[in-house]
Amino acid sequence: MIPVQGYAGHKVAVLGLGRSGLATAAALKAGGAEPVLWDDSPEARAHAEAEGWACTDLGREGAFEGIAALITSPGIPHLYPQPHRIIAKAMAEGIPVDNDIGLFFRSWATHEWDDFETMPRTVCVTGSNGKSTTTALIRHIVEHAGRPVQMGGNIGVGVLALEPARDGEVVVLELSSYQTDLARALTPDIAVFTNLSPDHLDRHSGYGGYFAAKRRLFAEGGPDRAIIGVDEKEGVYLANQMASSREDDRVIRISSEQKLGDFGWSVFARKGFLAEWRKGRQIASIDLREVKGLPGAHNHQNACAAYAAARCLGIAPKVIEEAFHSFAGLPHRSQTVAVRKGVRYVNDSKATNVDSAAKALQAFDNIRWIAGGLGKEGGVSFLKPFLGTVKKAYFIGHSGRDFALELEGLNHEICETMERAVARAAEEAEPGDTVLLAPAAASFDQYKSFEKRGDHFAALVAALPD
């Protein structure tokens, strides 16, 4: 774990006792602080107490006397749509509010680094879609290159559960808007912005607030290198804000839609080929079409981002290309779970919004599409231009019938459950078809998480008769 610096001998409140909350409490204690724990959930409190922690109601009168700071879990609202009552109380009393990301960046560097030959580096990845795949791919490339590496944040382990740095180590962090929005310290060496599409808008009071939360990693983080997807206007704006000139190679623009040859440094993918350009010249190229773990244009953007980060770390293009081919992909993200009777079954349960579902629909042909769940604000009419490869849709969950109405004219069947959707798609599929789970919706109407939904799909596919 990373012992938290700066609070030795002080009481520090911890709100939210999930994975990151308990890791935060342990890291505070390791750094000499006295953690004061609370969670509104009796089950979470019982779990913490079973782990040996005492819980103190932070909502009671006088609870913040002698408290130096409040550390909150990222899922707890601190501003919009309404701040949690305990966070509001802390702010009203002038208690600094932070999260584990802020604690990590104030505690990561230690005096032991003075003896290192090569300083550790942090690579932070944010954006709407592709964060997890990009983060895992960077970690895979660094590991393939034979360098020490750890991965955490919104994927893997909580940041404070990482091990202290080793000489020359790279730490790759996936950071959500919930995490970047509140962290009081953000100092990445390399920051990556993949893309932006509507998500979590209630938590950020709209699209502008959502972008502003992502932008903090760059504007306040001041990375040495900024890798920015420029296929949306927000990325174009961010790259312009970060660069001092067109030739400024501290900013690396990436794209999966357009050629980017007129900048100091750019990486882009077109027609399945990744190209790296520097100062008006192409210096490397990789054929992505046979990279099985990265199918589709959206994964080619992820490849561009990971490639750029690896190049910033001094890794050669040939080594990166080798790593691409050995990357298996992540579960629930364009993951082929089976090929049966010539039919491919793909689990993209992580496609919880229309933008990520659109990318999945563009990655395959002859699609039998399983979609639905707990629909998000704005509906799914955005997907109409991407339905040309869909032979039939099988709608499930709370919003299944709404999806059918919005996508009028699409050949479909209301299946309601995953069991029926998989069975019907398998019955009707022909060799060359792809049965694609890309829900374009949250899972919480029928499942505890998108992972549980994807696991159920994979289990049903595995049980299909040969």
Task: Convert the pLDDT of each residue in 66-92 to its tens digit.
Answer: 999 999 999 999 999 999 999 999 999
SS3 for 82-102, per residue? CCCHHHHHHHHCCCCEECHHH
Residue 298 has pLDDT above 90, yes or no: no
pLDDT for 261 equals: 77
Mean local confidence (pLDDT), 288-309: 92
Query: pLDDT at residue 246 above 80?
Result: yes
**For 220-246, what is the mean pLDDT?**
96
**Biggest distance spanned by C-alpha atoms of the chain:** 68
∠ at Cα 231 (283, 387), nearest 5°?
Answer: 120
**What average pLDDT does range 9-23 have in this prediction?**
95
Q: What is the pLDDT of residues 357-390, one digit of tens each?
A: 998 999 899 999 999 999 988 899 999 999 999 9
pLDDT (tens digit per residue) in 89-110: 999 999 999 999 999 999 999 9
**pTM for the complete prediction?**
0.86
448 assigned to a ligand binding site? no
> Residue 130 annotated as binding?
yes
Count of CB atoms within 10 A of residue 384's CB? 14
Question: For residues 399 and 441, is the Cβ–Cβ distance under 8 A?
Answer: yes
Pairing outcome for strands 265-270 and 251-255: parallel
Integer angstrom CA distances of residue 205 from 51, 263, 354? 37, 34, 19
Is residue 217 pLDDT above 80, yes or no? yes
- Per the document, the length of the chain is 466
To the question of whether residue 128 is assigned a binding role by annotation, the answer is yes
User: Does residue 331 come out as left (phi exceeding 0), alpha (psi in the -120 to 50 range) or beta?
Assistant: beta
Domain architecture of the chain: domains with CATH: 11-98 (3.40.50.720), 108-326 (3.40.1190.10), 335-462 (3.90.190.20)
Q: Using pLDDT thresholds of 50, 70 and 90, give the confidence band for residue 262.
A: confident
Amino acid 173: pLDDT: 98
pLDDT band at 201; cut points 50, 70, 90: confident
Mean pLDDT score across all residues of the chain? 95
320/309 Cα distance (integer angstroms):
10
| pLDDT (average), residues 199-217 | 92
pLDDT at residue number 202: 87
The pLDDT value given to residue 253: 98
Does 391 appear as a known binding residue? Answer: no
417 assigned binding-site residue: no
